Amino acid sequence: MSSNKPQPSHQTVQAELRPGQSIELLKALHILTREGRLNQDSRRKLKQVEHLVQFIEKVLGELSPHGDELTLADHGAGKSYLGFILYDLLLKDAGRGTVYGIETRAELVERSRALATRLGFARMHFLNIAAADAAHDAALPERIDVVTALHACDTATDDAIAFGLAKQAQAMVLVPCCQAELAACLRQNKALQLSRTPLAELWRHPLHTRELGSQLTNVLRCLYLESQGYSVTVTELVGWEHSLKNELIIARHTGHKKRSAAERLHALLAQFGLQSLAATRYARALSPSVVS
């Protein structure tokens, strides 16, 4: 059925783009159609990514006020919308800044490599590896300044955090995806917890198990980052009408490791019957070097 709705003109689309933004890139990413138009889905995606780029721009400005070299690693890069748009808007003309995209799907990595070559984005590199293996991959530098993860599936966000800690990242910008690992632990211990505490009502119904699992995961991630010397802010990425997975966690390295955060993290794990995660997900919070 054909729609009678008027299509936005090319000029209208231009007004939605940032000055100097590459039309060729947006077409190659299928954000713009071949005719240079935006459909509803791609407009939503563009808005989301550009919003995140604005947050990252602020972080880069703080880290490198004089335009020094910076390295960024994007975990669960997918088609690398974030990496490409960030490079196009912030790094391409600045002549500095290297982006590493980390992605498990080989075909997406190949596609991104080909696109970067075609556009001459020489300081973009793509690695076909899992986030959990990235910290030990010889193709990555010893230190990475900024770690990003936009909707990296399930525990890939935790792996990105572990990577950031191993690489002594100055900042981490994370928009978590759906979360299954912690919800599975809550589910497993449900009967026991219901007999022990009325708090278990918070996750008795399966939908609540999933929702609380996501919320608790992000709370624990924040505490973990604070325990490892980061200040953390949590905010919305864009309005809820644009995405349900909308929580933005920005962690900036201060070097002040908060013992109280590590203690609270462990108290929460105990309260919710999740102690099994302490050694796997939050291993560094066990370290005696956590002070103050």
Ligand X SMILES: C[S@@+](CC[C@H](N)C(=O)[O-])C[C@H]1O[C@@H](n2cnc3c(N)ncnc32)[C@H](O)[C@@H]1O
- List residues binding ligand X (CB under 6 A): 75-79, 81-82, 102-105, 108, 130-132, 150-153, 156, 159, 177
Would you say 105 or 196 has its CB closer to ligand X?
105
Read off the amino acid at residue 265: L
Least distance between ligand X and beta carbon 42 (Å) = 12
Comparing CA positions, the residue from 185, 103, 205 lying closest to residue 152 is 103
Q: Are 140 and 134 in contact (CB under 8 A)?
A: yes
The runs of H, that is alpha helices, within the chain are 10-16, 23-28, 40-63, 81-86, 106-119, 131-134, 156-166, 181-188, 190-196, 206-227, 259-271, 278-281
Least distance between ligand X and beta carbon 238 (Å) = 13
CA distance 271 to 278: 13
CA distance 202 to 242: 27
Would you say 99 or 262 has its CB closer to ligand X?
99
Would you say 82 or 216 has its CB closer to ligand X?
82
Q: Retrieve residue 196's tokens.
A: 């022990």
Least distance between ligand X and beta carbon 74 (Å) = 7
Side-chain-facing half-sphere of 20: CA atoms under 13 Å: 10
The residue number whose beta carbon is nearest to ligand X equals: 78
Q: Could you please report the per-residue DSSP string of 122-171? A: TTEEEE-S-HHHHTT-TTS-S--SEEEEES--TTHHHHHHHHHHHTT-SE
Least distance between ligand X and beta carbon 105 (Å) = 4
Would you say 59 or 290 has its CB closer to ligand X?
59
Query: CB atoms < 10 A from the CB of 13, how many?
Result: 19
Would you say 80 or 193 has its CB closer to ligand X?
80
CA distance 128 to 101: 9
Least distance between ligand X and beta carbon 153 (Å) = 4
Would you say 76 or 97 has its CB closer to ligand X?
76
**Helix 181-188 / helix 206-227 crossing angle, nearest 10 deg:** 120
Q: Are 189 and 215 in contact (CB under 8 A)?
A: no
Least distance between ligand X and beta carbon 212 (Å) = 22
Would you say 169 or 290 has its CB closer to ligand X?
169
Would you say 150 or 274 has its CB closer to ligand X?
150
